[in-house]
Chain A
Amino acid sequence: MTTLTTPHHGDIPHESNTIPSTGIDAPVVVGLCAEYDDVTAVLEAAEKVRDAGYRHWDVYSPFPIHGIDAAMGIRPTILPWLVLCMGLTGCVFGISMTAWINAFAITMPKPFDWVNLQGYQFLISGKPIWSIQANIPVIFECTVLFSALTAVFGMLLLNKLPMLYNPLFKLEMFRRATSDRFFIALDAGDARFTHEGAKELLESTGALKIETIED
């Protein structure tokens, strides 16, 4: 899911610079938040926002909602391709590492004969120094390790996590996002965002309450 981006200070209207400084940063409008009380309402609202062409916005829900991806128009993630690439990398890494450690030996010509590139060429149970059978487990585990770490950290990064602060937390009503209410937040950084236009759109979706997000 997309997440609300941090305040765009570059987008502050020019006039705000003329306000005398009080020593505290004046609150900036970073978006609009609308509250809904059931899944169907928030799904329909999400479809409207999607059709209005917004890009920087998100839906907040206490639990996963089936069909929210389609309602929000979220495109398929590129994560599988990252995992595939890193899995193959891990596979190649596993093969190279086992071959390097077990079977590699280079004797450099003089005057570099002090360079001793020699693997641990142990003879175990009369098996070859390096064999695919003995090393498949290592290669497999490297593939899994690379894939799994890419999947976990790729997911976090693509979701812009960890996000330790979000101006939405300042809204009193948003506290119910983890219990029984659903929210749609439009980001002021969106190209289509105007305060009135966004408010009108959210009102047309039948929101219970609409509040301005300030930061």
Chain B
Amino acid sequence: MAHTHHDLSQEVTRMRPAGKTLGLGLLVVGIIAVVAAFILSPSEDGHRRFWFAYLFGLCAITAVSCASLIFTLINHLVRAGWITNVRRILETMALQTILVAVLTLPIIGITLAKNGVIYSWAKPSDTAIVEGPEEGSESHEEKAAGEKAEPAEKAEAGHAEKPDTHHGETDGHYGGAPVDAAPSVAADVTYPNHQAQPGVMRPFDENIARKNHTWLNPTFWSIRILIYVAALAGIAFWYWKTSVDQDATGDMDASDRMFGWSAPALIVAAFATTFIAFDMYMALDPHWFSTMFGVYYFASGTQAMWAIMALFVLALQSRGYLKQSVTKEHRHDLGKFLWAFIFFWGYIAFDQYMLQWYANLPEETFWFDKRGYNYAHPTGYTPIALALLIGRFIIPFLGLVSRHVKRNRFGLGFWAVWLLVFFILDMYHIVIPEYSWTPMHGAPEILAAGGIMALWLGNTIRVLGNHELRAVRDPRVHESLALQNF
């Protein structure tokens, strides 16, 4: 009931040791899994498969951590009262940007090594044409050239003879092949070659490397990435620290300081997140550019963030924590945000696709081609693209629309788990198609990506366990408790 102050002194807000043990266990499991994935992945191309699997996991935890930080800041900026009692979970998730920064260092190292293991453009110009896994590069180029030449001849021949087709259909000159089948465009679409030889550059990659590209060159790129992760981790740490310190001091000014810095910090965090998406994940295909990709990445991560928040609240409450301060109303609000971001993600994902579909520029549509969005040329990723549309947008949109589902523990938990699965699938479909045109889901992917997610989860639980589970002395605790949904 509103306007009445509850006694929260009996509430359990410190995690029992078992929780911290779980966190540490997950950390150990995560490290072992990542190391195992490295050992299990083929080494002849510099563990390229492992690094893409690693990047897949990193992509997921970066999205969630950055989204958590952005929403921590937004909640301070708008002085949101309702979230106060669950804000510590959000702050701790945002704090994992430190883990993200640490796990990004190997990627920076590989890019600075200029061997093109992850980013094809990072290879120096004089050796721009990559050798394939064995030594097939030259032969591949020749093969591709040969394939190009042959249809071109056919096309020429066909063109010359074209008037005849109207008169004599029994000519037999074309061997049954339709005239339209041989335009030069077809030669560019060398799907099978890409499939067979991951890491083979397209001519444009070579140009980027040759020109010592202003934006995509290893040195400048590494400096930028360091700035992004340092900024994110710094902001996240300051907010987390200020909030945790307030638990001890009860200092009201801390709330004002967090509010005061939230606007500039939000600008920095939003830019850093957007440019991490651009530089680390959009740059996997240097041909492709989408100004919406940063928003897409944010939307995707934010949706997963609300799902994880809801699951944390449900898990903590089922173990007896935060039983009084967090109510059905808070879970309802988490469900509302989760549902809103189902639509937001769908909206952004469709917009990004539709604009590039409409413009139909080869360097843009190629990204969607690889991921099987083109129903005329399905790839191994087509089922994933369809699963994202149906399973991450249409079904959960209808499933979570009702307030009764959001206010029900099982309903909220079910859809949170469901959406997390599709979030991981989304991250997979951002990263892995850049490694191979056939879906890769063997031990390296499962162990590396799963290991990184376990590291993230383990560290979040560990840090949560070391401090109060909610901001116990925040001045808005009772405002949060008075939350009512209509």
Stretch at the interface among A54-62, A133-141, A162-170, A180-188: A133-141
Q: Using a CB-CB cutoff of 8 Å, which residues 336-372 of chain B contact chain A?
A: 350, 353-354, 357-358, 360
Interface residue from B350, B354, B360, B484 paired with A67 (Cβ < 8 Å) = B484
- B482-A125 in contact (CB<8A): no
- B2-A133 in contact (CB<8A): no
Interface residue from B1, B360, B486 paired with A125 (Cβ < 8 Å) = B360
Residues of A within 8 A of B377 (CB): none
- B3-A39 in contact (CB<8A): yes
Q: Check A40 for interface membership: any CB of B closer than 8 A.
A: yes
Residues of B within 8 A of A110 (CB): none
Asked, given contacts A39-B3, A67-B2, A125-B360, whether A133 binds B354 with beta carbons under 8 Å apart, the answer is: yes
Residues of A within 8 A of B350 (CB): 136
Q: Using a CB-CB cutoff of 8 Å, which residues 25-77 of chain A contact chain B?
A: 39-40, 65-67, 69
CB distance from B218 to the nearest CB of A (A): 37
- B3-A40 in contact (CB<8A): yes
Interface size band for A:
10 to 19
Q: Using a CB-CB cutoff of 8 Å, which residues 58-103 of chain A contact chain B?
A: 65-67, 69
Q: Check A14 for interface membership: any CB of B closer than 8 A.
A: no
Which 10 A-B residue pairs are closest in the complex by CB-CB distance?
A66-B2, A66-B484, A133-B357, A133-B354, A67-B2, A67-B1, A136-B350, A39-B3, A67-B484, A125-B360
Q: Which residue of A lies closest to B398 (CB)?
A: A84
CB distance from A17 to the nearest CB of B (A): 45
Number of interface residues of B (CB under 8 A): 12
Q: Which residue of B lies closest to A40 (CB)?
A: B3
Q: Check A9 for interface membership: any CB of B closer than 8 A.
A: no
CB distance from B329 to the nearest CB of A (A): 10
Interface residue from A65, A66, A67, A133 paired with B358 (Cβ < 8 Å) = A133
The distance in angstroms between the C-alpha atoms of A201 and B424, with both chains bound, is 60
What's the count of A-B pairs with C-beta under 8 Å? 25
CB distance from B479 to the nearest CB of A (A): 11
CB-CB contacts of B109-151 with A at 8 A, as 1s and 0s?
A: 0000000000000000000000000000000000000000000
Residues of A within 8 A of B1 (CB): 66-67
Interface residue from B353, B354, B484 paired with A137 (Cβ < 8 Å) = B354
The distance in angstroms between the C-alpha atoms of A127 and B486, with both chains bound, is 46
- B358-A127 in contact (CB<8A): yes
Residues of A within 8 A of B358 (CB): 125, 127, 133-134
Q: Using a CB-CB cutoff of 8 Å, which residues 126-173 of chain A contact chain B?
A: 126-127, 133-134, 136-137
The distance in angstroms between the C-alpha atoms of A73 and B373, with both chains bound, is 51
Residues of B within 8 A of A66 (CB): 1-3, 482, 484
Residues of A within 8 A of B486 (CB): 69
The distance in angstroms between the C-alpha atoms of A128 and B2, with both chains bound, is 57
The distance in angstroms between the C-alpha atoms of A129 and B482, with both chains bound, is 55
CB-CB contacts of B1-26 with A at 8 A, as 1s and 0s?
A: 11100000000000000000000000
22 contacts between A and B (CB under 8 A): A39-B3, A65-B2, A66-B1, A66-B2, A66-B3, A66-B484, A67-B1, A67-B2, A67-B484, A69-B486, A125-B358, A125-B360, A126-B360, A127-B358, A133-B353, A133-B354, A133-B357, A133-B358, A134-B354, A134-B358, A136-B350, A137-B354
The distance in angstroms between the C-alpha atoms of A39 and B3, with both chains bound, is 9
The distance in angstroms between the C-alpha atoms of A66 and B82, with both chains bound, is 14
Residues of B within 8 A of A136 (CB): 350, 354
Q: Which residue of A lies closest to B402 (CB)?
A: A80
The distance in angstroms between the C-alpha atoms of A137 and B358, with both chains bound, is 13
CB distance from A202 to the nearest CB of B (A): 23
The distance in angstroms between the C-alpha atoms of A78 and B484, with both chains bound, is 20
CB distance from A198 to the nearest CB of B (A): 27
Other than A65-B2, A136-B350, give 18 A-B pairs with Cβ distance below 8 A: A40-B3, A66-B2, A66-B482, A66-B484, A67-B1, A69-B486, A125-B358, A125-B360, A126-B360, A127-B358, A133-B353, A133-B354, A133-B357, A133-B358, A134-B354, A134-B358, A136-B354, A137-B354
The distance in angstroms between the C-alpha atoms of A136 and B353, with both chains bound, is 12
The distance in angstroms between the C-alpha atoms of A134 and B353, with both chains bound, is 11
CB-CB contacts of B36-52 with A at 8 A, as 1s and 0s?
A: 00000000000000000
CB-CB contacts of A90-128 with B at 8 A, as 1s and 0s?
A: 000000000000000000000000000000000001110
Residues of A within 8 A of B2 (CB): 65-67
Q: Identify which of A66, A125, A137 gathers the most chain B CB atoms within 10 Å of its CB.
A: A66
Residues of A within 8 A of B360 (CB): 125-126
Residues of A within 8 A of B484 (CB): 66-67
Residues of B within 8 A of A126 (CB): 360
The distance in angstroms between the C-alpha atoms of A125 and B354, with both chains bound, is 13
